[in-house]
A and B are shown apart, each in its own frame.
Chain A
Amino acid sequence: MRALLLLLAASLASACGSAPPSARGGGPRASALPTPDVLGPRERKGQFAFMHTCNPCHPQAGGGLGAPLDTKPFPLPAIRAKVRGLVPGDMPKFSEIEISDDDVDAISAYLKAIRPKI
């Protein structure tokens, strides 16, 4: 179990790395914002839970007080462990009353749906 947690911690920590610097001078030329994915009921439930619980620290799933969540895959077990406070770090833990297991699973589905497809 301890080994698993350390693995999860390492996985989450690696997702916190800074993005490469953008071009200077004239600046990057903008492309249109991506059209929001059409979400199924499961992902939409996750989106709702995310916006009401996670968005303050991970605004629009990007980085903020917390790490960006839209750049790398986060396995469901890693998300569950982080939410429940089983992984070391600054992120506060959330009880099952605050976020149900079903909502955590739905959040995972939502994050998977919005992650850029490479």
Chain B
Amino acid sequence: MKRVLLGGMGSLLLISSCSRVRPPAGGHDIAAPRTADIENVRLPAGYRIEVVASTLTFPSGVTFDDIGEPFVVEAGLSHGERFVPPRLVRVAPDGTTTQVAAGKNGPWNGVTFARGSFFVAEGGEKEGGRILRIDRDGTTKTLIEGLPSFGDHHTTGPVVGPDGFVYFGQGTATNSGVVEKDAQHPEFHDVPCRDVTLAGVNFDSADPGKPEAHVTTGAFLPFGQRGEKGQVIPGRVPCSGAILKVPIDGGAAQLVAWGLRNPFGLAFAPDGRLFVTENGPAVRGSRPIWGAADYLWEIQNGSWYGWPDFLGGEPVNKKRFAVPGKEAPAFLLDHAPGTPPMPNAYFGVASSSSGLDFSRNAAFGHQGHAFVAQFGDAESTTAKAPVGFKVVRVDPKTGVIADFAVNAGDKSGPASKVGGNGLERPVACRFDPKGTALYVVDYGVMSVTDKGLTPMESTGVLWKITRERAQ
């Protein structure tokens, strides 16, 4: 294989197989150097990988304009509450980037291009979630705002559907339905898309403002507010934990599906069906849940997918969702507002299965299969081995998952941890317009320790995978 060296002048020098990441000319200071080496990434026989761009800061999505040029969004807000401006940048063939637009209300969680404009999901940690339309000259229009993104999860996606609507995800405010004592906005809680009736299950916790005091919190309610059995929480749109859509020129949000905790990746299959990746609950907070997977769902219009009482189609009060030595979580709802379907595929617990796209070209192979970026653990877990940090291929018909791009060696994990200079944290996958190249957005280095998360700026990479026979 040949090496690709991205030099400080941004020139593309095909001299070796290693891409030394350096700040581009005029770029901001690099926080930590990262070397991306294609020799350290394993692929199926017949495929090759190369580095398209590096020194990106917290990249979260990639799209292509009508002539096939790649554009990347940088989230601007990383785990660990690190804020830098979110940006949309053009990636030139030599790997250098040019800013198209910047914001101040990150994280920007993905981008798509349609009808001559870019559509960005603005996570909205500070001002609430939005869907933005950004023209080539950087002119930005808000298609919808006021999306409920002040909690644990944000506005995600987006993709433009066959009906011309912009589809996007809206994550929940909480891990499993209950506002925690450490919430940044204790008054901010989940909002159901349709009316739900509470079972009257409440959770005691310390009151952060009064060290000796305890408060009781119910589901779908602000911190410290008790819920009663039979209490109806009115549904409304926009809501938490949902797939929503908005007209491409802006307007009111419409409900597509709900009951999804953190629907991060959205993609339409070649046959027009919408698929979503959902990140399952974690073992934390007042209602910890053990062993919840991440899921691939085919989205049926109007359906409820189970959160917070069903996970992957199974009731959460099963023993297998109990933290070892504790009781299984109780239902929060008096009765389920629907019958949740079963997932198309089950990803590893804590794999953080994120952005996805479908192969649609026989030249690349695996037509109709989904390629899913797995970000990997973002919290200290009890897992026996790191999960994720790779790209997997999924047959949505059978649910069979296979590794597609993984780090070399005999140990799983991000390259910065397991050695080598391969993948760190894949967060999005997108085929180019021809469908012959799969671009993988690698968020970069983010270490996880008992002290918290430490993301590193300028360590993100855009990888490109092609099939050698297709060249």
Contact = CB atoms under 8 A, between A and B. Distances in A.
Interface of A: 16, 18-33, 35-36, 47-48, 51-52, 55-57, 59-60, 62-68, 90, 92
B42 A32 contact: yes
Contacts of A35: 44-45
Interface of B: 18, 37, 39-46, 291-293, 312, 319-320, 324, 345-351, 381-385, 387, 392, 398-404, 406-412, 415, 418-422
5 closest A-B pairs by beta carbon, nearest first, are A27-B420, A63-B385, A59-B348, A22-B409, A56-B293
Contacts of A32: 42-46
Contact of A33 (B44, B319, B411, B418): B44
Given A22-B410, A35-B44, A63-B412, A48 B399 contact: yes
B291 A56 contact: yes
A65 B402 contact: no
Q: Which of A23, A56, A68, A92 has its CB near the most chain B CB atoms (within 10 A)?
A: A56
B48 to A, nearest CB: 10
B350 A65 contact: yes
A33 B406 CA distance: 9
26 contacts: A19-B410, A19-B411, A20-B410, A22-B418, A23-B419, A24-B419, A26-B421, A27-B408, A27-B419, A27-B420, A29-B39, A29-B40, A29-B408, A32-B43, A32-B46, A35-B44, A51-B401, A55-B348, A56-B347, A57-B349, A59-B348, A59-B351, A60-B403, A63-B384, A65-B383, A65-B384
B400 A33 contact: no
Contacts of A22: 408-411, 418-420
Contacts of A47: 400
Nearest to A20: B410
A30 B346 contact: no
Contacts of A36: 402
B409 A33 contact: no
Q: Which of B349, B350, B398 has its CB near the most chain A CB atoms (within 10 A)?
A: B349
Contacts of B400: 47-48, 51
Nearest to A16: B384
Contacts of A56: 291-293, 312, 346-349
Contacts of B346: 51-52, 55-56
Contacts of A60: 348, 392, 401-403
A27 B347 CA distance: 27
Contacts of A16: 384
Nearest to B49: A30
Contacts of B385: 18, 62-64, 68
B349 A28 contact: no
Contacts of A19: 410-411
A68 B45 CA distance: 24
A33 B42 contact: yes
B43 A92 contact: no
Given A20-B410, A25-B419, A28-B409, A52 B399 contact: yes
B40 A59 contact: no
A60 to B, nearest CB: 6
Contacts of B319: 92
A30 B399 contact: no
